[in-house]
């Protein structure tokens, strides 16, 4: 749906939680915003006659100016939960029931924004959980006894002894591979396991083929939600199968999935 909001340039900048674009002329990309009232917005933007950079797009004569005048609309509007759902499913903001089309010219930007949204949401949830746990004895908020977590790191270049020659955005490549594998796992009767993707560098012995400065990698992490994934064994099996699909898709020799347990607080 299309949602119109009246924002000043400063309000627009302050509301941004994730953004990705070409960073050149002409500039185009996607941006996700969360307003103080909890309204979440997701929209695409493109270069205007006076807008060479994203900062220009936010300034007078750019997106914020038009939004302030109530003339611009976002592709999608809803709640934070709805935005996280879009990002988790890698959905098309214009038609949320469908997955985003990899052939779309701005698909990479949208995937990068989705990754940013999930990272922002994970950080905000951790902050809320930490603040809430400080008062758990007073508010009597129950903590789950155990919530399994996983992390797995993938390289992008097959083999060893390479020079990190990677085409395109490594995070986007791994995000697409994980989403594809998770969709296949769900279609086969398993679980679609959400994850947060973070750019990383892996360091190992130079004589074993580690590039100078470390190998460019992407680390995926996530946690089982006991409210939805009640069987830890099934969740771990789905994580393992998805990771194996991604390893094969990225032509990696090895991949190590690490599972750990911790207390959790599920907020609704």
Q: How confident is the model at residue 127 (pLDDT cuts 50, 70, 90)?
A: low
CATH 3.30.70 in the chain, residue ranges: 144-264
Mean pLDDT along residues 40-50:
69
CA–CA separation, 43 and 22 (whole Å): 15
Q: Which position has the higher pLDDT, 74 or 25?
A: 74
pLDDT above 80 (res 149): yes
Residue 156 contacts residue 174 (beta carbons within 8 Å):
yes
What's the pLDDT at 161? 75
d(CA 216, CA 210): 10
Cis peptide before 26 (omega within 30 of 0): yes
Evaluate whether the domain defined by 144-264 bears CATH number 3.30.70: yes
Q: Of 115, 125, 88, which is closest to residue 32 (Cα–Cα)?
A: 115
- Global pTM reads 0.47
pLDDT exceeding 90 applies to what percent of the chain? Answer: 24
Average pLDDT over residues 196-224: 90
Q: How far is CA 23 from CA 12, 33, 57, 100, 186, in A?
A: 19, 19, 12, 22, 36
156, 177 contact by CB (below 8 A) = no
Instruction: Find out whether 250 and 174 touch, Cβ atoms under 8 Å.
Output: yes
> Which range has highest mean pLDDT (25-34, 45-54, 122-131)?
25-34
Scanning 90-188, the segments in alpha helix (DSSP H) are 107-133, 136-139, 170-187
Does residue 62 register a pLDDT over 50?
no
Query: For residue 198, what pLDDT band results from cuts at 50, 70 and 90?
Result: very high
Residue bearing the bigger pLDDT, 24 or 125:
125
**Among 5-9, 205-209, 253-257, whose mean pLDDT is lowest?**
5-9
Neighbouring C-beta atoms of residue 20, cutoff 10 Å: 23
Confidence at residue 80, expressed as pLDDT on a 0 to 100 scale: 84
**Separation of alpha carbons 101 and 258, rounded Å:** 31
pLDDT at residue 239 in the model: 95
For residue 34, CA distances in Å to 57, 73, 96, 133 come to 18, 15, 18, 25
Quickly state the pLDDT bin for 144 (edges 50, 70, 90).
very low
């Amino acid at each position: 749906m299309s949602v119109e909001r009246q924002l000043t340039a400063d309000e627009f900048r302050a509301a941004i939680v994730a953004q990705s674009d070409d960073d050149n002329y002409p500039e185009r990309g996607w941006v996700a915003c969360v307003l103080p009232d909890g309204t979440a917005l997701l929209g695409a933007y493109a270069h205007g006659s006076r807008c060479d950079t994203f900062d220009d797009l936010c300034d007078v004569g750019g997106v914020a100016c038009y939004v302030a005048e109530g003339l611009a609309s976002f592709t999608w509007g809803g709640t934070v939960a709805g935005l996280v759902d879009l990002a988790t499913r890698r959905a098309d903001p214009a038609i949320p029931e469908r997955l985003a089309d990899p052939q779309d010219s701005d698909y990479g930007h949208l995937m990068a924004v989705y990754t940013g949204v999930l990272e922002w949401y994970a950080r905000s949830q951790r902050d809320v959980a930490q603040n809430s746990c400080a008062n758990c004895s007073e508010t009597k908020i129950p903590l789950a006894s155990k919530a399994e977590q996983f992390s797995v790191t993938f390289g992008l270049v097959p083999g060893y002894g390479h020079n990190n020659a990677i085409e395109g955005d490594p995070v986007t490549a791994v995000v697409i591979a994980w989403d594809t594998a998770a969709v296949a796992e769900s279609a086969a009767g398993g679980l679609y396991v959400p994850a947060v993707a973070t750019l990383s560098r892996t360091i190992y012995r130079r004589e074993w083929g580690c590039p100078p400065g470390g190998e460019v990698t992407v680390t995926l992490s996530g946690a089982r939600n006991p409210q939805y994934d009640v069987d830890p064994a099934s969740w771990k099996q789905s994580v393992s199968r998805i990771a194996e699909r991604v390893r094969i898709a990225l032509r990696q020799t090895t991949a190590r999935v690490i599972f750990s347990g911790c207390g959790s607080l599920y907020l609704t």
